[in-house]
Amino acid sequence: MNVVTRRRRVLGASLVAVALAGGLVACSSSSGGDSGSEASGPYTIWDPYPQFDNSSDWVQLLDKCGSAAGVTVKRTAYDTTDLTNKALLAAQQNNSPDVLIVDNPVISTLADAGVLTTTGDTKVDTSAVEPNLLAAGQIGGKTYGIPIGANTLALYYNKSILRAAGVDATTVKDWASLTAALAKATAAGKKGITFSAIGTEEGSFQFLPWFWGAGANLTKLDSAQGVAALSLWTDWLRKGYAPNSVINNTQTTSWQEFATGQYAFAENGTWQLANAKKTGFDYGIIPIPGQNGGTAPAPTGGEFVTVPVQKHTARYSTSEKLVACLTSSDNSYTTDTTLSYIAPTDPVQAKQVAATPELRVWVDAVHAAKGRTSDNLGTKYPKISEPMWTAVQAALSGSKAPQAALSAAQSTAASATK
């Protein structure tokens, strides 16, 4: 089977899968870079940042990078979930944008569908990027883009609650010391910890640090380590250290609970830093601890800058210039500050910490983080994640014991990923 035929077949299958999962609707094609030679027309960039208008620093950076490359940039912004559908449709219509910025778990879907070039094809330099962050865009030994920045999870804590409960946050180093801190906080009349365990990808995202922090692997959901992680959460609910509301909490609603000032801890991400400063109480941040100590690997969030496949491959050289500009050290510092991201390279991370010392804990967390599609899971990850969050829901609701819930999840995941 030749490459073009395979790409069309995989694209068709991907579009059917997206349609079944998310209700795909037809859309008119916009002028992508596929329609002309290197010199013809503007260079199109699609991104998942509709919150930024033409006056924003982000859009001004896009224009600046276009000018530096000697081209006009045409930018279109979509909601994150809509962007994947649009990218698949555009590829089917041979009308892909020149540069596509997408959430890192989507990389495997688009790469499998033949939508994306590799960095080897376009000569995008990824040598300065942290290997664990780059891994989220790697499948089968090939790299399909470069991260623009990363976010991840840690534990926010209320300093006054811990002080009143006689807890020193620096002593929270493992699950036992964290659980002991929750016990003291609730004994002092406050609430323990809030997090998101909703039956969506957000629930899996928040469960993974505990799952990985126990040493579990996504290919074996019902291992003793995986059961230990789910038992930890289940025990917290049973003892009243975490509220029953976590079953329906999104990351936003769990943050709103923490912002009431009644909770000792909250699991949340870098994106809440601005909101943390508005709570009206003193807060601190510590890494999510592993079961027996150390920093648990938390999943990486954040987008990759990619170059979709074009009929006119001469366009790649200019696309590479745009990608290099968007991800350069100077520009990524400004962009990552705007997006509340940790930079993907050591020098820019150091610059961020020098300007904002409280980011040190987030830099440490990002160093320990890993991609959800890493370990060469690729497109298998969503087929594992859904059974996992279903198991979490079953255990927390009391309908199944952790072992039984994860055994059922493993059976489902194994069948789906054959």
pLDDT, tens digit (0-9, with 9 covering 90-100), for 80-96: 878 999 999 999 999 99
Please give the full DSSP string across 197-238, using - where no structure is assigned. Answer: --SSHHHHHHHHHHHHHTT--TT-TTSHHHHHHHHHHHHHHH
User: Among 268, 299, 296, which Cα is nearest to 373's?
Assistant: 299
Domain over 153-298+377-416 is classified CATH 3.30.360.10: no
pLDDT at position 144 over 70: yes
Single-letter residue type at 330: D
**Can you tell me the distance from the alpha carbon of 145 to that of 223, in angstroms, rounded to the nearest whole number?**
33
For residue range 402-416, list pLDDT tens digits in order.
999 999 999 999 999
pLDDT surpasses 60 at 368: yes
Q: What distance in Å separates the CA atoms of residue 147 and residue 327, rounded to the nearest whole number?
A: 8
Residues of the chain with CATH 3.40.190.10: 3-150+302-368, 153-298+377-416
Closest CA to 34 of 306, 304, 308, 318: 308
pTM as predicted: 0.86
Residue 81 gets the label, from left (phi > 0), alpha (psi -120 to 50) or beta, of alpha
Contact 49, 110 (CB under 8 A): no
Report the C-alpha gap between 237 and 34 in whole angstroms.
53
Q: What is the pLDDT of residues 262-292, one digit of tens each?
A: 999 999 999 999 899 999 999 999 999 999 9
**What is the number of other CB atoms lying within 10 angstroms of the CB of residue 137?**
30
CA dist 73 and 321 (Å) reads 12
Does the pLDDT value for residue 14 go beyond 90?
no
pLDDT in tens, 31-70: 344 444 555 679 999 999 999 999 999 999 999 999 999 9
For residues 163 and 157, the answer to whether their CB atoms sit within 8 Å is: no
Give Dmax over CA atoms of the chain in angstroms: 69
**CATH number of 3-150+302-368: 3.40.640.10, 3.40.190.10, 3.40.605.10, 3.10.20.30?**
3.40.190.10
> Bridge-partner residues for 285, per DSSP?
156
Q: Which residue has the tokens 């952790």?
A: 402
User: If you average pLDDT over every residue of the chain, what do you get?
Assistant: 90
Instruction: Tell me the one-letter amino acid at 86.
Output: K
